[in-house]
Chains A and B, each alone.
Chain A
Amino acid sequence: MMDRRAALRAAALTAAGLGALSACGRGFGGGGDDTPDGAVVLTMVWWGDNTRARKTQAALDVFQRKNPGITVRTEYQDSAPYKDKLATRFAAGDPPDLMAMRMDSLREYADRGALLELAGLDLSGLGESARTLAAVGDRTYGVPSGLNSIGFVVNRTLTDRFGVRIPDGDTWGWDDLGTFARAVTEAGDGTVYGTGFDLFTLANLFVFTRQRGEDFFTERGTLGITAGTVQAWFEMAQRMRDERALPPAGFMDEAGSSAAQSYIASGKLASQIIPTNNFLSYNEAAGGNLALLRMPGETQGVRRGQSIDTPALWSIAARSKHPREALALLDFLINDPEASQATGTTRGVPPNQRVAAAIRPGLAKDDQVATDYLIGLQGETLPRSFTYPPGGSSIAASLETIATEVEFKRQTPADGAAAFIAEATKALRT
């Protein structure tokens, strides 16, 4: 909370006309201030929770043992304010050496020369899709910290109690989801809804868009999604909401972002969409009886919708004072099995396939479920994920606004879809 307050305070100063610069240099500690005996101090920032912090520190301990003379100072925080604070830190001329980078921020930093090109990094262990996930042209500015996808989790304790059969997760369609969810809502008698998902979470819409044969963002960085697809997405949700398969408008927005605060953990939803690398924490929070299904519609669509993604990239600042040591640390995190043994799959399945195979037997059971899910997907032919073009974050913002308008029936799906295409096209042009 302190960190967010510091950001608020900085913003309040700006707001009062007291200047944008006052925000600089606050929040994060100084970087690159080496110890007097000549040892190198690397700063590393990322987002996540305490569990991830413990596991990351365990990996860093191994690295520091293997590399005497390098000390890693790590800082972490909640995902929501991460983006703002990273920007502030760059503006202050004090970027971290190694940092977790959001997929939708990569181009915003890379295009402005703020990131080191990772030419010297050994990526031979990564599969084609993992290696190119964050490629900007033929250059690499970010490496996946892990691989994940999204999946549907279903609480078997609830479905068993209500006697509702869970559809086959490999072949089910969106209609099957609707039928299933309606049955749960009816059996739950108003205390439980069958399913719930955000219409404005891009990852969800990406799947639906690809299944219709389009790409949300094309390889050239233009908008590939058509108004018809956005409209179909809105209409499908509206139909499901009218049938009470989905909870009422506004319901989803009240849940917190962590697994423990989720509706599947509190038992108000029988199913929801999660990033697969979080399966372990969701299953723990929801009582340990979750099933992990693929996204609906994978066998009915024009083509596959799911893709291999990453929850976060690792990037190195172009202005890092110790690029060699930062690269060594990144190489360790990506290519050394000991690093992944320590971190487990908190950031997804290790992108290096040899490492992934090496650590699999030692994983916790829930992490194995998520790993097998992803290894299964990796063996199939899936459409590629393209990096977000600059302007992607303002597109995400307008989708959120318009989806909410449609959800509360202040706009029709057709009008909302047209408005979204217009705003998104404008955001990409400027």
Chain B
Amino acid sequence: MSVLQQTPVAVPAPAPRKRYRRQDRSGYLFLLPWFAGMLFTIIPFFASLYLAFTDYNLLNPPEWIGLANFREMLADERLMRSLRVTVIYTVVSVPLSLAAALGVAMVLQQGIRGLPVYRAIFYLPSLLGSSVAVVILWRYLFGVDGVINKGLAWFGITGPAWTTDPSHALTTLIILHVWTFGSPMVIFLAGLRQIPAAYYEAAAVDGAGPWRRFRSVTLPLLSPIIFFNLVQSLIASLQTFTQGFVMSGGTGGPADSTLFYNLYLYLRGFTQFDMGYASAMAWVLFVLIALLTAVNFLAARWWVFYDD
């Protein structure tokens, strides 16, 4: 839900400071819990930065080793595999889930009766998507004898071992991710509402068809929201952990095909006693995500249109 509060579009233009004093105060009041929580994260935050430069096996005190962890990362084949899994997962599933979210949002926007009900139904999966229970359910749906394969057998197709065949396990997780498009969809719906109907009427009068109206009115006016959803989804997707952990029983298997970066980090830290290395991995991911987001913001100048 915090995602919704961060939506940039709804922020009013800055107004004269004095008039807003009281609002400021309640704003800070609302922020208080965040500051309190921050205290608990800021110390570990810097501690992990220190640990990234140490050899720390959890049992003995950390030992300073300079850049050795980072050098080891360059030659770590399993790390490269985990990066590959994470990037493929992100590159395929983020555009698909955003497209699905936008598509469904536009259909719902047409003014169907019972909209709140449909909206809730489509939103539900994204509340559940990364929960342990749903991934377990997913495992059964996609089991060798699961519902999906039984359905395919009806049409005479022998379904593969979706979750245990290294060629298909990641695909199954991508489908799961696309299915949880509800959260960007709700944001898209809010954005679509803000596009004045007058624009569409004017376009229709000029003889623009549905596709042209979508391309020349909807897309540009919605672009700040698309941008926001894109940035959010990319960050979340690069941090994927639960889906891989639960689906593979904590190993990243079959054959490392669901070994997400964060899952590998977890394995190094907590099962192989390499907390120094795991901390270094965490910081590399942090920097990668920060860079990617910065690039995103720079690129946004070229395609995001703010209609002030």
- What is the interface of chain A, defined by CB distance below 8 A to chain B? 1, 4-5, 7-8, 11-23, 80-81, 83-84, 87-88, 90-91, 108-109, 112-114, 248-251, 253-254, 393-394, 397, 400-402, 404-405, 408, 410
Q: Inside 8 A of A4's CB, which chain B residues have their CB?
A: 132
- A18 and B242 in contact (CB under 8 A), knowing A11-B262, A112-B60, A248-B161? no
In the complex, which of the residues B41, B56, B139, B265 contacts A22, with contact meaning CB atoms closer than 8 Å?
B41
- A393 and B57 in contact (CB under 8 A), knowing A13-B41, A248-B144? no
Q: Inside 8 A of B194's CB, which chain A residues have their CB?
A: none
Give CA–CA (A7, B283) in the complex, Å.
Answer: 20
B211 at the interface (CB under 8 A from A): no
Q: Inside 8 A of B45's CB, which chain A residues have their CB?
A: 17-19
| Nearest opposing residue in chain A for B140, CB measure | A254
Q: Is the CB of B44 within 8 A of A19?
A: yes
In the complex, which of the residues B43, B161, B241 contacts A19, with contact meaning CB atoms closer than 8 Å?
B43
Q: Which of the candidate stretches B95-103, B200-208, B243-251 sits at the interface with the other chain?
A: B243-251
B47 at the interface (CB under 8 A from A): yes
Q: Is the CB of A400 within 8 A of B253?
A: yes
Q: Is the CB of A408 within 8 A of B57?
A: no
Q: Is the CB of B132 within 8 A of A1?
A: yes
Q: Is the CB of B132 within 8 A of A17?
A: no
Q: Is the CB of A81 within 8 A of B250?
A: yes
B51 at the interface (CB under 8 A from A): yes
User: What is the 8 Å Cβ interface bit string for chain B, positions 256-285, against chain A (1 contact, 0 not)?
Assistant: 100000100111011111010011001101
Q: Is the CB of A250 within 8 A of B144?
A: yes
- A253 and B254 in contact (CB under 8 A), knowing A4-B132, A112-B57, A393-B271? yes
Q: Is the CB of B163 within 8 A of A21?
A: no
B164 at the interface (CB under 8 A from A): yes
In the complex, which of the residues B59, B272, B279 contacts A114, with contact meaning CB atoms closer than 8 Å?
B59
- A17 and B58 in contact (CB under 8 A), knowing A12-B241, A91-B275, A408-B167? no
| Nearest opposing residue in chain A for B289, CB measure | A17
Q: Inside 8 A of B164's CB, which chain A residues have their CB?
A: 249-251, 253-254
- A316 → chain B, closest Cβ, in Å? 15
Q: Inside 8 A of B161's CB, which chain A residues have their CB?
A: 248-251, 254
- B43 → chain A, closest Cβ, in Å? 7
User: What is the 8 Å Cβ interface bit string for chain B, positions 154-187, against chain A (1 contact, 0 not)?
Assistant: 0000000101111100000000000000000000
- B40 → chain A, closest Cβ, in Å? 7
User: What is the 8 Å Cβ interface bit string for chain B, positions 41-70, against chain A (1 contact, 0 not)?
Assistant: 101111110010000111110000000000
Q: Inside 8 A of B43's CB, which chain A residues have their CB?
A: 19, 21
Q: Inside 8 A of A13's CB, which chain B residues have their CB?
A: 41, 44
| Nearest opposing residue in chain A for B255, CB measure | A404
Extra pairs beyond A19-B43, A19-B44, A84-B266 (17, CB < 8 Å): A5-B132, A12-B241, A15-B239, A16-B282, A17-B286, A18-B44, A18-B45, A19-B41, A20-B278, A22-B40, A84-B271, A87-B273, A393-B271, A394-B272, A402-B255, A408-B166, A408-B167
| Nearest opposing residue in chain A for B239, CB measure | A15
- B258 → chain A, closest Cβ, in Å? 12
Q: Inside 8 A of A14's CB, which chain B residues have their CB?
A: 48, 265-266, 269, 278-279, 282
Q: Inside 8 A of A394's CB, which chain B residues have their CB?
A: 272
Q: Is the CB of B283 within 8 A of A8?
A: no
Q: Inside 8 A of A250's CB, which chain B residues have their CB?
A: 144, 161, 163-165, 254
- B169 → chain A, closest Cβ, in Å? 9
Q: Inside 8 A of A254's CB, which chain B residues have their CB?
A: 139, 143-144, 161, 163-164
A-B contact pairs, 11 of them (CB 8 A): A13-B44, A14-B269, A16-B239, A21-B47, A81-B250, A84-B270, A250-B163, A251-B161, A401-B256, A404-B254, A408-B254
Q: Is the CB of A19 within 8 A of B286?
A: no
Give CA–CA (A12, B41) in the complex, Å.
Answer: 12
- B143 → chain A, closest Cβ, in Å? 6
- B274 → chain A, closest Cβ, in Å? 10
Q: Is the CB of A112 within 8 A of B59?
A: yes
| Nearest opposing residue in chain B for A251, CB measure | B144
Give CA–CA (A108, B266) in the complex, Å.
Answer: 17
Give CA–CA (A8, B239) in the complex, Å.
Answer: 13
Q: Inside 8 A of A402's CB, which chain B residues have their CB?
A: 255
- B133 → chain A, closest Cβ, in Å? 9
User: What is the 8 Å Cβ interface bit string for chain B, positions 30-44, against chain A (1 contact, 0 not)?
Assistant: 000000000011011
Q: Inside 8 A of B51's CB, which chain A residues have their CB?
A: 20-21
Q: Is the CB of A88 within 8 A of B270?
A: yes
Give CA–CA (A408, B164) in the complex, Å.
Answer: 10
